[in-house]
Structure 1
């Protein structure tokens, strides 16, 4: 976007500045992220001069916010002796530090004297509790330059593990805070040839982002680049491309890109920046030969066919496809066999899949060739095409280096702490790939079911689908489930044939679309389903239909927008208020029966699952759950709802809607007051509410967490294994394991989907 914005400002004369053969480094660093890109001006057959993107770096969680946090921690340590400030005080300190940092960096010369950082107290101690620190502008500026923009060697390697680390707001920031080391690593990766020579060294740098409003930081980067260039055979002075409107760069760049897509402006071609290979072996450890499936420089829409060598594909059993990439082997062509070169090839997350062929595929090998196509969105579509019957199985490869997180298959024995240790590494995705004939059989069964008048056919749909697919319902993978949703959505009208038909449709759509995220088209599916919300139920008097309608929305709630969740919550709360005799007089008008216990519990589960709701709305729902907590026979539902409402780590990406710690601590105390022995639902609720995340904005106060640990320790000493697990969540930061996600959602997750 930044480069397109610069092109928009220089639409008539850009080619006079950037000449053929020259390379532009786009260095975009904002408050939270850093992006590096290389664009080269090339001679083109169709026009005198064209532009090609030749390299894209990692999307680094490293930016100006890290500067603020690092400086603020120094002051925090000075004030507290190593302890943490309360979240509201920390936020106030961050704001004051940011203001001082910008004054220091954006002025040509640092302000004279010291700058006071003052944080007033709160309540009755607004004056007496005031804290002040004096900072030296010169020393602070040098500390920022030394810590984030050090004059490092071009051959420098990134620090990892315990050598460095940044963490605030619960986000996985880049472990090495030195921006210049990331820049050196980027240039080494993409510009250093296999012979050791450097190609396409930058001639220009285009800075973008709020951080580079500081001329000191821009000049520092230019000096580092010039210093590196002197180490090469042909040192050169790198110049800056000046953008007059950096604050509007993203908006202007997006508009310019839109014009480029329709041919009204110059477009930067986005060829593959690296070559891709697939390993010919059973596991990563025994890979010998590699097959090049997509060479570096492959253009969007291009197709590479790899049929030079006979290949055997294993179907009917889980297999994996080892993947590798290289930026330094441009000579390799599609279909060429090469040997593994650990020095110049990077191992990528392998693709794991079970390729289906027929209803009950027996393990066997089939002869295939490979076809790879570069898609519009920057992904590779890899097809395994059967040579004799022309069947094909399609796999998708994301190729933004090291930035895509591939969730691991669910494992009930996964150790949450171990999962957390590996969160900075990419993992494999398990996918089930079905042959088209089998999908046609499943689709025909669904169509026949909703075309038939017999209710018994609808009631038996799930068992019939298990028989045709050859898999039990709980093993249906994400690919098959979403395919079912796409088949079912147009059949809403046919579902009105009977209460059994409607109940079956609601049940299967909710089950197949759960949890509303995990597939790129899920937002589109939910929008289409949400568009039917005003269509009345055909059989509202049937309690099964009513319950399944609430269950459907609960199952897909994580993928719903805030607006949709708010509207759904209002409808659900309205139904709750109809409890008892108040609804009897409305039955003839609405068709709804009086609110029963089962429906009430499903509504509460739904409301607790709407994680994007604002905290005030969640507290209203929590009041309902607390009332239910006092009723012994309904305590399990109440505990599940409280755990979901006050969870420190929500399932959906909705951290801004996490309940305040004060409210969560009140819920925790209500659970801790329950008499012994605590049921498993209460133990799990304690673990979710007091879960330690490492984010001061979400974590409970240490004294509240210690009370929870004490209660869990009593149960752990008595041999309660769940208490041992939950206690671990409170003692060290961790993320949810697969079994915990399923407990939170209330059911088994689709194969191949977990939190990343």
Structure 2
């Protein structure tokens, strides 16, 4: 929604709080007053026979079994949006059904939408659900809730459909640009293309401002700095707002000065904590419940927590877990949860007394749920102490907040409110003023409507011929933000500064250049006029961005500063292939970067050409790469194309992101060009075969080539791919070197684009298919980059390699194979992580049959371990073979003598490895059996640790597991 956005026939401002636990909608007529803000009662099924309309729509979705719900799920309307798979139900009934059958409940979609470690557009929810449960993506689930809201609104306001209204959608202040972009996409998929994003703490404070009416100025008269603490179901959001007297004696001037980092810590974590405390009473001391039973326990603890933290709480409540199937009641077990236990485990656990100088612990604690990256330290008080130390002038009590607004359902509990306000008062040395929030469940939605009312006052255009138009259809435009009477605007602009990562000099800390300073107002465009980039159109380009909420780093556009310390967040990269104009394939252009905080609340970065065409400068929007996130992180790549103040520019395109210290690259490119360049040069077969050794003389040992250098070399080889077939040796060397440089096919920005280019070569196959050595390099190449292939591509490759493997098995029985190495085909088989696990199960069963042959290689055990591993290289964790399916292969390894067959033992390690995710981990008893056998066989301590606890795999074992070392700088999470 920009200043020129047209609302058409808009009549309302609608605020939507798309919360982790609940979704709430409030509205007010455009041109109305704050007193007219009303909540929307959202129809939703409460039981199989009843539809109830209430303000809180639980943000959950129940994926029912066929026939389970009859036709009841069709009322008040079936799930809509991006992935309307039926039968399913949204809201209160879904939550109640999920309490009994948690394996079918999609919950915490908002948290998953901000989780960069998974593909947020892939169908992965419910997390850890059985194969017969239809799954949806976090994006689709979020869209479905918004679509339900749209249907509810349209039924209540048929004359004013929601997509034509001024919609303000709230997000956590800590959401990064990727999560914000996906939130906008969810709204678009739900048929709401023109929403404006607003940070939730600001919305909550807007609601408080509205409620004060004529008393607003007096209520804030003694306040200098307001702290907003918003603890929702999935996140804790912290915001500071400075209060200053108005120069003209009117309403106070409000400026948002700081926001906290993304903290996935809220009511969900408290439910998990209670469930962990009670687990032993249901599973036995030292034992763990299966994932579905533990999920049920979490839901029961949520209900008990709400009862025991209420103002009129009983002394205790019973927490009951039902059995399964026909023994539903016979196997039911109960435990007692007391009010004092909840106070101790929730209040003392999440708000323990802390010093203002405390910092959160970094060690991973026990609160790991269902794949979400919860923080290591669950103490909100320590996170708050660190936030105030960074943003409230250090630890000086005089500069700490004197006023606090608490928002979120957790603050219904008086004990939680009391503990937090006591802590803030202790840090200050004097009591803090608590702003009364009468409705923490829907303050955000109300505040979003109030914000929209203040910002988007309607201006009705004059119609040239009124007779041609109904008055109700008059166009309403937003010219400029107009502040409603008696409601001050919260200024402050962008909560963060945004930085482009620059090349790191040898031995120096990385540096960044500021694209957009902290505090930049919406709609203001910043151009780095003194910095230019040389880019090649038609090739992949990438810019690595970081954001900082730190107030102690002065930030001005174009300023260069060191990157390091707390408060820096790595954003999804900006990446694109900029189209080349007609007839100018891969033309090089000079560009400047232009950044702005858009009117809808998102960062926008463009490349603006220094050349003018038809009187205008062409520009290209650089989108955030938020799709297909992989479980890998790359060392900070550099913007090596930067031309600073007229300095010599480096080439762009494939070398974008290469460190400036790699000045040897031109010499390496020349070596590659001698073998694979446009002009065939007089080179011998020996020179071709020795290309790798020649490159190592220039660049050092290939194991030490960093990922930026590897991708630059690969891009050089890709540009010369047409010459790979000149001779047998050319093809063999190209495949070997290109596969090494692109491995593992993921981990660096723009790898998806590279994989698209390389997959286009697959149908052409080998140019020298009669050479067994070339076939071997062919299989090795695709095994090295297999992690970057999608499911369809892996399936095609799987069918192909299966046919060649069958021929190889037949030929090997008669002599030497002409289709390459059987072992390499086997290893390629095992690298297919993106195919449905049932295919990998079938492959593994075929391999078990092969192992009955005495001549079968030990590589088969390695392949089985990879097929059934708990932790994939790059595939999303929902594709991991379920524990019950992996048991067959683990049993086969347990039958081996591990003192004689170390490969089988390592396969068992991969299958029994502890991940902390109950949906993937083997039962405790099974892992105990594996550990006992490992100790008896003298297993290395690091292997034992991998089965006992959640630890990172060491480099030596990574190489053993994946078949090659990972590039330096790429870290598996």
Shorter-chain TM-score bucket reads 0.5 to 0.7
**Which one of 764, 768, 771 corresponds to residue 536 of structure 1?**
764
The Cα shift of 1:740 comes to 0.8
Relative to structure 2, which stretch is displaced further, 175-184 or 221-230? 221-230
Normalised to the residue count of structure 2, the TM-score between the two structures is 0.52
Distance (Å, rounded) in 1 between the aligned partners of 2:691 and 2:445: 55
The Cα shift of 1:198 comes to 0.8
1:259 aligns to what?
none
1:572 paired with 2:798, answer yes
Distance (Å, rounded) in 2 between the aligned partners of 1:51 and 1:459: 69
**Which one of 97, 102, 115 corresponds to residue 301 of structure 2?**
97
Checking the alignment, whether the CA contact within 8 Å between 2:343 and 2:415 is kept in structure 1 is no
1:268 aligns to what?
493
**Which one of 76, 92, 100 corresponds to residue 279 of structure 2?**
76
2:961 aligns to what?
744
Alignment of 1:384-403 (within 5 A): none
Deviations 1:264-298 (A, max 9, x none): 98993255499x9xx999899xxxxxx99999967
The Cα shift of 1:567 comes to 3.4
Alignment CA distance shift 1:507-1:375 (3 Å): farther
The Cα shift of 1:742 comes to 1.0
Runs of at least 5 residues in structure 2 that lack an aligned partner in the other structure:
1-170, 174-195, 211-215, 246-250, 452-477, 482-490, 521-525, 531-547, 569-592, 597-601, 604-630, 637-656, 811-815
1:180 aligns to what?
381
1:385 aligns to what?
none
Task: Give the secondary-structure state (helix, strand or coil) at the position aligned to 2:320.
Answer: strand
1:481 paired with 2:706, answer no
**Which one of 11, 33, 36 corresponds to residue 238 of structure 2?**
36
1:198 aligns to what?
399
Distance (Å, rounded) in 2 between the aligned partners of 1:499 and 1:486: 22
Alignment of 1:69-468 (within 5 A): 69-87=272-290, 88-101=292-305, 115-122=317-324, 125-135=327-337, 142-143=343-344, 146-147=347-348, 150=351, 152=353, 155=356, 157-158=358-359, 160=361, 166-169=367-370, 173-193=374-394, 197-198=398-399, 201=401, 205=405, 207=407, 212-214=408-410, 216=412, 220=416, 224-225=420-421, 228=424, 231=428, 236-238=433-435, 268-272=493-497, 433-435=659-661, 438-448=664-674, 449-453=676-680, 456=684, 459-460=688-689, 462-463=691-692, 465-466=694-695
Deviations 1:300-331 (A, max 9, x none): 979899xxxxxxxxxxxxxxxxxx99855869
The Cα shift of 1:481 comes to 0.4
Deviations 1:9-62 (A, max 9, x none): 99xx9999799998675655555544434466999xxxx999986434343342
Distance (Å, rounded) in 1 between the aligned partners of 2:739 and 2:278: 51
1:522 paired with 2:751, answer yes
Checking the alignment, whether the CA contact within 8 Å between 2:634 and 2:707 is kept in structure 1 is no
The Cα shift of 1:452 comes to 4.4
Relative to structure 2, which stretch is displaced further, 150-159 or 729-738? 150-159
1:420 aligns to what?
none
The Cα shift of 1:739 comes to 0.8
2:970 aligns to what?
753
**Which one of 495, 499, 515 corresponds to residue 724 of structure 2?**
495
Distance (Å, rounded) in 2 between the aligned partners of 1:575 and 1:190: 58
Checking the alignment, whether the CA contact within 8 Å between 1:648 and 1:699 is kept in structure 2 is yes
**Which one of 861, 867, 872 corresponds to residue 650 of structure 1?**
872
Normalised to the residue count of structure 1, the TM-score between the two structures is 0.65
1:602 aligns to what?
824
Distance (Å, rounded) in 2 between the aligned partners of 1:337 and 1:658: 42
Deviations 1:619-670 (A, max 9, x none): 1221232233233443322111111122233333633222222333321221
Checking the alignment, whether the CA contact within 8 Å between 1:165 and 1:176 is kept in structure 2 is no
Checking the alignment, whether the CA contact within 8 Å between 1:516 and 1:555 is kept in structure 2 is yes
Distance (Å, rounded) in 2 between the aligned partners of 1:117 and 1:15: 37
1:5 aligns to what?
197
Deviations 1:130-173 (A, max 9, x none): 2123545x557645652355484673735648997534457764
Deviations 1:547-569 (A, max 9, x none): 43433332233344xxx134313
Distance (Å, rounded) in 2 between the aligned partners of 1:529 and 1:42: 59
1:665 paired with 2:887, answer yes
Alignment CA distance shift 1:91-1:709 (3 Å): same
Checking the alignment, whether the CA contact within 8 Å between 2:362 and 2:377 is kept in structure 1 is no
1:726 paired with 2:943, answer yes
Supply the RMSD in Å over aligned alpha carbons. 5.7
The Cα shift of 1:510 comes to 1.9
Alignment CA distance shift 1:161-1:546 (3 Å): closer
Alignment CA distance shift 1:249-1:687 (3 Å): farther
Distance (Å, rounded) in 1 between the aligned partners of 2:634 and 2:844: 32
Checking the alignment, whether the CA contact within 8 Å between 2:409 and 2:440 is kept in structure 1 is no
Distance (Å, rounded) in 1 between the aligned partners of 2:379 and 2:887: 39
Checking the alignment, whether the CA contact within 8 Å between 2:955 and 2:965 is kept in structure 1 is no
Task: Give the secondary-structure state (helix, strand or coil) at the position aligned to 2:856.
Answer: helix
Alignment CA distance shift 1:129-1:498 (3 Å): same
1:735 aligns to what?
952
Distance (Å, rounded) in 1 between the aligned partners of 2:363 and 2:661: 47
Checking the alignment, whether the CA contact within 8 Å between 2:773 and 2:820 is kept in structure 1 is no
Checking the alignment, whether the CA contact within 8 Å between 2:894 and 2:930 is kept in structure 1 is yes
Alignment CA distance shift 1:114-1:579 (3 Å): same
Task: Give the secondary-structure state (helix, strand or coil) at the position aligned to 1:558.
Answer: helix
The Cα shift of 1:463 comes to 2.8
2:851 aligns to what?
629
Aligned length: 618
Task: Give the secondary-structure state (helix, strand or coil) at the position aligned to 1:667.
Answer: helix
2:269 aligns to what?
66
Task: Give the secondary-structure state (helix, strand or coil) at the position aligned to 1:451.
Answer: coil
Distance (Å, rounded) in 2 between the aligned partners of 1:25 and 1:492: 59
Checking the alignment, whether the CA contact within 8 Å between 1:502 and 1:545 is kept in structure 2 is yes
Checking the alignment, whether the CA contact within 8 Å between 1:66 and 1:166 is kept in structure 2 is yes
Task: Return the structure number with greater helix share.
Answer: 1
Checking the alignment, whether the CA contact within 8 Å between 2:664 and 2:699 is kept in structure 1 is no
Task: Give the secondary-structure state (helix, strand or coil) at the position aligned to 1:649.
Answer: coil
Deviations 1:329-375 (A, max 9, x none): 8699999999xxxxxx96899xxxxxxxxxxxxxxxxxxxxxxx999
The Cα shift of 1:501 comes to 3.5
1:674 paired with 2:896, answer yes
Task: Give the secondary-structure state (helix, strand or coil) at the position aligned to 1:55.
Answer: strand
Runs of at least 5 residues in structure 1 that lack an aligned partner in the other structure:
254-261, 285-290, 306-323, 339-344, 350-372, 379-403, 410-430, 585-593, 717-721
Deviations 1:47-83 (A, max 9, x none): x999986434343342333212221123322334423
Alignment CA distance shift 1:202-1:481 (3 Å): farther
Distance (Å, rounded) in 2 between the aligned partners of 1:472 and 1:122: 58
Distance (Å, rounded) in 1 between the aligned partners of 2:718 and 2:280: 57
Relative to structure 2, which stretch is displaced further, 450-459 or 734-743? 450-459
Task: Give the secondary-structure state (helix, strand or coil) at the position aligned to 2:964.
Answer: coil
Distance (Å, rounded) in 2 between the aligned partners of 1:598 and 1:263: 69
